Structure 1
């Protein structure tokens, strides 16, 4: 049995502090966010730096948590998950909200956020069809302390991007 101070859940709430970034770091982040498959040599040419200097900056940005991962952006529709929805979850209290973390390994849940307003949690979910959404909503509503859900099905996506490092 884990002791009270031991981490028992893979999801952590983190208080973020801005990293110290210079203009070159911000430009590098912009280039990587547009295409992370560029070589250090290609990035160096665009930044007027050597490839090893770019590599050192990327290493530092990863170490400092500015770059959290290098991933491929997958088109949900192309892999058969054509229904994108945002689900607002009403919870009774903070304990109920934390119980939702038991769902964090479900592949249908792409994002999970606590929010201010009428609901406690907002989920970004992607499923194959309405039956998949109904099944997921059932799992959510089975959690003790969940009072209800509201779902918003996405019809079209016009803009979907991460933060602009230049700002």
Structure 2
């Protein structure tokens, strides 16, 4: 999809506003872009229908929920891996992201768990036993400098 052909500058402004504060009232979005609230609401609905806006979510602090340890796990799989392996990996305790990666034949997982003991249990009891998993390589995050789901819209606006 050529994004420049499907949305205009006002859509970009709306997307930037919503990325900063998804719970902003529609009337405030309309005020900021200089349009009627009904027109802004219609634009937002069209952006949702076209899957440009995929959803809205709240960012929670993982610490109070006993998920303070973040780890990235590289999973190397057999080339004849089972087709349901990505779904099985996505169901593992603490998994937030599953990415199929180039290079080694496999996946990169992002997990949030309580501590090293829980991470070890997840690796031994949930990931390694999955059919098609050859090995794992784990990277434990010591400190997160930047973490975002925001898309850099400045690169695409006209």
TM-score with structure 1 setting the length: 0.84
Choose which of 129, 151, 156 in structure 2 pairs with 1:163. 151
Measured at CA, do residues 114 and 155 of structure 1 come closer, stay the same or move farther in structure 2, by a change above 3 Å? same
**Mapping for residues 120-131 of structure 1, pairs under 5 Å:** 120-131=106-117
Partner of 1:30: 16
Q: How many residues align?
A: 151
Change in CA separation of 1:83 and 1:61 when aligned onto 2, cut-off 3 Å:
same
- Unaligned runs of 5+ residues in structure 2 are none
CA distance in 1, matches of 2:143, 2:81: 35
Partner SS for 1:152:
strand
Shift of 1:78: 3.0
Q: Please give the root-mean-square deviation of Cα atoms over the aligned residues, in Å.
A: 1.6
Q: Give the C-alpha shift of residue 100 in structure 1.
A: 3.8
- The alignment status of 1:147 with 2:134, answered yes or no, reads yes
Q: After TM superposition, what 4+ stretches of structure 1 lie above 3 angstroms from structure 2?
A: none
1:104 aligns with 2:104: no
